[in-house]
């Protein structure tokens, strides 16, 4: 079991380490970050009988001395559980892709003007993002390269979804959220009864030509976009911040929920060599 866990975690870490190396992060600095993560998770999830764990308990569980545990607890990021600052912008893009009012006859998102409160981009934001100023949403979408804005204040979508390629900072934030969501689902399924499992599905083959990969990429994009539009329509109508309907439920609980989908493409090499 321990050997299997080691191999699995090493495989998970490989793309993460590649990202860290590209950003000049050393193993020592990453080790500091992992200590913080160990203390945060032990503090949040490893108490006894429903009570928060003591410093000694955290030290025992993590193998980190009490003095260091105390220091790390004092530096825990208290904003980590807050909604993503990009969330509203992502909602606006999702609405632009599914709301018939902002689509043409072929179901494609139309270009929108900016500046008129009751129509165009301003109306899109007001309708689907509550009281967030349209200017703030537009600035975020322009900054991340999600939309294009011309000299006439006409705004068009640059991609089918909120994928902020033009902003490395925003992409790193999205990376953290998406990878965390996937790993939380897998960890849940490993530690809970199958009857309580969360959706975790994939379809992967390992001997496909480059030409067929390109075809599959196009096919999967079309199918996924149709699915996500339907799911977004359902969730947006039930989100208590953005729904235009009156909340008639007595359920006061609050959850973050959704579905993430990602494309897989790896080059299969017969062998890899390293030169000295």
| Residue 34 included in any domain | yes
| Residue 171 included in any domain | no
pLDDT tens, 140-155? 888 888 899 998 889 9
Same domain, 15 and 93: no
| Residue 264 included in any domain | no
| Residue 20 included in any domain | yes
Which pTM was predicted? 0.71
Same domain, 156 and 213: yes
| pLDDT score for 115 | 78
pLDDT tens, 71-108? 999 987 654 444 455 677 888 888 898 888 999 998 88
Range of the domain at 222: 83-166+202-243
Same domain, 132 and 219: yes
* Domains identified in the chain, total number: 2
Same domain, 16 and 97: no
Tokens 């993503």 sit at which residue? 84
Percent of the chain with pLDDT over 70: 89
Same domain, 129 and 151: yes
**Buried b / exposed e along 68-106 (16+ C-beta atoms within 10 A):** ebeebeeeeeeeeeeeeebbbbbbbbbbbbbbeebeeee
| Residue 239 included in any domain | yes
| Residue 146 included in any domain | yes
Same domain, 129 and 223: yes
């Amino acid at each position: 079991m321990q050997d299997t866990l080691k191999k699995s975690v090493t495989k998970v870490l490989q793309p993460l380490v590649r990202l860290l190396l590209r950003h000049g992060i050393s193993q020592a600095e990453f080790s500091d970050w992992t200590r913080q993560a160990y203390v945060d998770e032990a503090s949040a999830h490893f108490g006894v009988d429903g009570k928060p764990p003591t410093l000694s308990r955290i030290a025992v569980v993590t193998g980190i001395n009490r003095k260091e545990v105390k220091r790390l607890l004092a530096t825990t990021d208290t904003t980590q559980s807050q909604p993503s600052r990009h969330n509203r912008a992502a909602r606006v893009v999702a609405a632009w892709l599914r709301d018939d009012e902002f689509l043409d006859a072929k179901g494609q998102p139309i270009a929108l003007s900016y500046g008129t409160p009751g129509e165009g981009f301003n109306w899109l934001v007001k309708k689907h993002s509550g009281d967030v100023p349209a200017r703030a949403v537009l600035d975020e979408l322009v900054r991340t390269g999600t939309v294009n804005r011309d000299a006439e204040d006409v705004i068009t979508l640059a991609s089918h979804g909120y994928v902020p390629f033009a902003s490395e900072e925003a992409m790193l934030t999205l990376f953290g959220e998406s990878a965390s969501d996937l790993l939380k689902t897998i960890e849940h399924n490993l530690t809970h009864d199958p009857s309580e499992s969360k959706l975790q599905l994939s379809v992967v083959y390992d001997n496909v030509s480059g030409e067929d990969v390109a075809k599959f990429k196009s096919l999967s994009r079309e199918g996924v976009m149709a699915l996500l539009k339907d799911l977004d329509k359902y969730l947006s109508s039930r989100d208590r911040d953005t729904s235009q309907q009156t909340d008639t439920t007595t359920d006061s609980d609050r959850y973050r929920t959704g579905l993430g989908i990602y494309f897989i493409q790896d080059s299969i090499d017969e062998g890899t060599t390293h030169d000295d």
